[in-house]
Amino acid sequence: MNAGSKRILIVGGGFVGMYSALGLKGAARAGHAVTVVNPENFMQYQPFLPEVASGTIDARAVVVPLRRVLPHAEVLIGEVEVIDHGARRATVRMPEGRIEELDYDIVVLGAGSRSRVLPVPGLAEYGVGFKTVQEAIYLRNRVLSRLDVAAEADDPERLRSALTFVFVGGGYAGVEALGELEDLARDAIRNYPMLRRERMRWVLVEAAGKILPELGEDLAVYAKRRLRERGIEILLNTRLESAEGAVLRLSDGQEFAADTLVWTAGVKASPLPGRSGFPVDEAGRVRVDRYLRVQGVDGAWAAGDAAAVPDLTIGGLCPPTAQHALRQARRLAANLAATIEGRPLEPFVYRTIGGVCSLGRYKGVANVMGVKLKGFPGWFVHRTYHLLAMPTLMRRVRIALDWTVALAFPRDIAQLGSLEHPREPFERAAEGR
Ligand SMILES: Cc1cc2nc3c(=O)[nH]c(=O)nc-3n(C[C@H](O)[C@H](O)[C@H](O)COP(=O)(O)OP(=O)(O)OC[C@H]3O[C@@H](n4cnc5c(N)ncnc54)[C@H](O)[C@@H]3O)c2cc1C
């Protein structure tokens, strides 16, 4: 490295991490060192997770290998535990548990968010989130395996519990995951002559008085009606009070057993910035100025779900969405490079184009620049928008191929839950069982 070269550390390899590293290609060419630290060697395109869960898209098509797209950067697989910004040093836990200290000059905080898990008794033991590709794969296998359990259940209580699927949280993630998985189960159950579709119970529990609040009243009402027409129960103004022993107790007095509990009740900013002494707001998001610099801290930048980014178009803060995170990352990288080179900075200004939401195959809603679409057109816009936004041409082609195959052939209903215990057959063989 030349004298004057900077070591830029990017924490997180999601939308912010990957796109800011891409935006710093020029800085890397000029001799600055760019390092990205992320627990996995891929970036995941979360908006496609519901389709991974339903098996319409292969999981590998929605993750982007960081080393492939960032050849100009060093990619370190690990988790930043804490940052001592005064000393310009990050403590990183490597996959095998080794701790490494990483010195830097400039830090980009892009550690995103995690599921906002509330202290509901039994939730941590029986619930599962919907934030990662692993959770999406798990849920696909879970739903299919419950059909197998139900098919062999003698006890009616056991059958009811196996066929009860509960989602808590009626935002995009919860509605899309439920819509896709119910579609999958509805198709799959045709292969189980002993089970009737009507025996399945799909429930969406939402603490507020409506679902999909970001989409506007009429689209949200339409989505609710379409889901209810499919027999999905939507319980508004209702909370999950406990899930102990996999028996769910709701605030409306209902109590029933459910094998599958999915928690999609919002996200919470990564605790890393707060833990490391960066200024955070009451929700734990890093406070940044209009240029995406951490407020009052030299050499630190932040964006995405982990940051409280002012929305200069309508006031308030930008919502935690991918469309904001990736644009913030590009602006952040441009401003960071401009700072190094002594050029003027530009503020982050982005007016949201709207929202799109799938309700399952061929069904969706979209609000794009005020144009509202329902049913097939809404679903088509949702797909096209995300396909175009998916990083790398190769991934876009793979997804388009997966969709084409899905049009021509029935759904694959093999469940690979045994992937969670790959060593079991070998251990049994070794023990002679
Ligand atoms: C199911 C689902 C559907 C969604 N659908 C949409 C949609 O349709 N449209 C839309 O605009 N948005 C959607 N979103 C939201 C969108 O995915 C997020 O807003 C976006 O991913 C935020 O980008 P980010 O870079 O801030 O965080 P992320 O993309 O989550 O990336 C953060 C990265 O940092 C890593 N990390 C965390 N802690 C550390 C640490 N200590 N050290 C190192 N690395 C760390 C994480 O592992 C992760 O790789 C959806 C989200 C979900 C879960």
Q: What is the CATH number of the domain that holds 292?
A: 3.50.50.60
Centre of ligand 1 from the C-alpha of residue 296, in Å = 26
On whether residue 64 sits in a domain, the answer given is: no
Q: What is the mean pLDDT of residues 109-133?
A: 95
Are both 275 and 377 inside the same structural domain? no
On whether residue 153 sits in a domain, the answer given is: yes
Closest ligand 1 atom to residue 18 Cα is: 25
Number of structural domains, the chain? 2
At residue 293, the 3 state secondary structure works out as strand
**Which of 43, 75, 321, 351 to mutate for ligand 1's pocket (most ligand atoms within 8 Å of CB)?**
321
Ligand 1, atom 15, residue with closest C-alpha: 321
pLDDT at 166: 98
pLDDT at 352: 86
In the structure encoding, which two tokens stand for residue 10, read together? Answer: 């990017």
| Count of C-beta atoms within a 10 Å radius of residue 61 | 21
Centre of ligand 1 from the C-alpha of residue 150, in Å = 35
DSSP code of 416? -
Most confident range (mean pLDDT) of 171-180, 363-372, 407-416 is 171-180
Are both 257 and 366 inside the same structural domain? yes
Instruction: Tell whether the model's pLDDT for residue 251 goes beyond 90.
Output: yes
Centre of ligand 1 from the C-alpha of residue 62, in Å = 13
| Enclosing domain of residue 231 | 123-265+357-408
Instruction: Tell whether the model's pLDDT for residue 429 goes beyond 70.
Output: yes
Q: Per-residue b/e over 173-193, b at no fewer than 16 CB within 10 Å?
A: bbbbbbbbbbbbbbbbbeeee
Q: How would you classify the pairing of strands 240-242 and 255-257?
A: unpaired
Which range among 105-109, 213-217, 261-265 shows the weakest confidence by mean pLDDT? 213-217
pLDDT tens-digit readout, 5-21: 999 999 999 999 999 99
pLDDT at 15: 97
Separation in Å, CA 180 to CA 81, 114, 341, 405: 35, 22, 48, 17
pLDDT tens-digit readout, 333-349: 999 999 999 999 999 99
Are both 33 and 85 inside the same structural domain? yes
In the structure encoding, which two tokens stand for residue 322, read together? Answer: 């991918």
pLDDT at 3: 67
Centre of ligand 1 from the C-alpha of residue 57, in Å = 19
Using alpha carbons, select from 34, 275, 243, 31 the residue that is nearest to residue 125: 243
Identify the residues whose C-beta falls under 6 Å from ligand 1: 11-17, 37-39, 46-47, 49, 79-80, 110-112, 130-131, 172-173, 270, 272, 304-306, 320-323, 325
Are both 243 and 272 inside the same structural domain? no
The Cα 293–Cα 266 span in angstroms is 26
Centre of ligand 1 from the C-alpha of residue 386, in Å = 15
- At residue 1 the predicted structure's pLDDT band, cuts being 50, 70 and 90, is low
Are both 217 and 228 inside the same structural domain? yes
Using alpha carbons, select from 410, 403, 417 the residue that is nearest to residue 191: 410
Centre of ligand 1 from the C-alpha of residue 17, in Å = 10
What percent of the chain is predicted at pLDDT more than 90? 85
Torsion over CA: 151, 157, 160, 166 (sign)? negative
The Cα 206–Cα 227 span in angstroms is 14
Ligand 1, atom 50, residue with closest C-alpha: 47
Virtual CA dihedral for 178, 373, 389, 49, nearest 10 degrees? 0
Secondary structure percentages of the chain, helix, strand, coil, to 5: 40, 25, 35
pLDDT tens-digit readout, 155-209: 999 999 999 999 999 999 999 999 999 999 999 999 999 998 889 999 999 999 9
Instruction: Tell whether the model's pLDDT for residue 130 goes beyond 90.
Output: yes
Are both 326 and 383 inside the same structural domain? no
Ligand 1, atom 41, residue with closest C-alpha: 80
The Cα 180–Cα 61 span in angstroms is 17
On whether residue 162 sits in a domain, the answer given is: yes
**Which of 11, 18, 36, 38 to mutate for ligand 1's pocket (most ligand atoms within 8 Å of CB)?**
38
The Cα 263–Cα 121 span in angstroms is 13
* Cα R_g (the chain), whole angstroms: 23
Instruction: Tell whether the model's pLDDT for residue 83 goes beyond 80.
Output: yes
- At residue 369 the predicted structure's pLDDT band, cuts being 50, 70 and 90, is confident
Instruction: Tell whether the model's pLDDT for residue 107 goes beyond 90.
Output: yes
On whether residue 261 sits in a domain, the answer given is: yes
Centre of ligand 1 from the C-alpha of residue 14, in Å = 6
Mean pLDDT of the chain: 94
In the structure encoding, which two tokens stand for residue 333, read together? Answer: 């990288």
Q: At what angle do helices 217-229 and 172-188 cross, to 10 degrees?
A: 20
Q: What are phi and psi of 33, to 5 degrees?
A: -100, 125
Tell me how far the alpha carbon of residue 415 is from its chain's centroid.
22
Domain end position, chosen among 294, 310, 341: 341
Are both 255 and 272 inside the same structural domain? no
Centre of ligand 1 from the C-alpha of residue 15, in Å = 6
Closest ligand 1 atom to residue 386 Cα is: 8
